[in-house]
A and B are shown apart, each in its own frame.
Chain A
């Protein structure tokens, strides 16, 4: 299976992204808490990209693809042509520092790394592709 969604880089489109993932995966017997965590991780990645690489310009678009190469393995691809925003290059901020500095950002990267198994970046046809993998428990 493969699902695809194109989105303008406006934060008001995040809700649509969440609904797209939920609708696409609703028949995949993924436990609710796990599905919700995956949706959260992709929301975080897309909002980071919209803010940091596209400055929330709604005329810029990103593409989200969901693939299941093997049963129980989900692969999300977020494709765009902005500057690469590689979360692997950002060290996760310490919680103490976040509290002390009253920073409202920085938690998203920590969430994504906690939820997804692997986050990789590749260049395909001149575009940036962020590939996020997750092995899932399937309800029998």
Chain B
């Protein structure tokens, strides 16, 4: 079960993921990102502070947007990953392909730098 809350401030759309993302729930993540993109946001923060688990279904959703983001000039930065979740990204080497920071402040700073 996963819940995704969206909050817009200062032109940034923040998606807070609460719970677990596996093959049964990855569609929720996909829909939330698609909605943000559809609404025209160029800066997307993903708050993973309450993300307890992610399997390849969820990792694949993030990967599937890499090229579209690049084409459309959209920046996405993730933050707050716990050690276990971060390890799942690292096993696949995804941490090198995505923007990941520890805190929201660092993530905001990076997204503003990347968007200049």
On A, residues with C-beta under 8 Å from B are: 11-12, 14-15, 18, 32-33, 36-37, 40, 43-44, 47, 50-51, 95, 98-100, 102-108, 110-111, 114-115
Q: Which residue of A lies closest to B55 (CB)?
A: A43
Cross-chain contact B60 with A43 (CB below 8 angstroms): no
Cross-chain contact B92 with A107 (CB below 8 angstroms): yes
Main secondary structure of the interface of A (DSSP, over half): helix
Counting from the closest, the 10 A-B pairs by CB-CB distance are A11-B24, A104-B60, A107-B56, A108-B56, A47-B23, A36-B84, A102-B64, A14-B22, A11-B23, A99-B66
Give B57 Cβ to nearest chain A Cβ, in Å: 7
Assembled-state Cα–Cα distance A15/B1 (Å): 9
Q: Which residue of A lies closest to B23 (CB)?
A: A47
Cross-chain contact B97 with A95 (CB below 8 angstroms): yes
Q: Would you call B26 an interface residue if the criterion is a C-beta within 8 Å of the partner chain's C-beta atoms?
A: yes
CB-defined A-B contacts under 8 Å, sample of 11: A12-B24, A33-B83, A36-B88, A37-B88, A47-B55, A47-B57, A104-B64, A105-B56, A105-B57, A105-B60, A110-B92
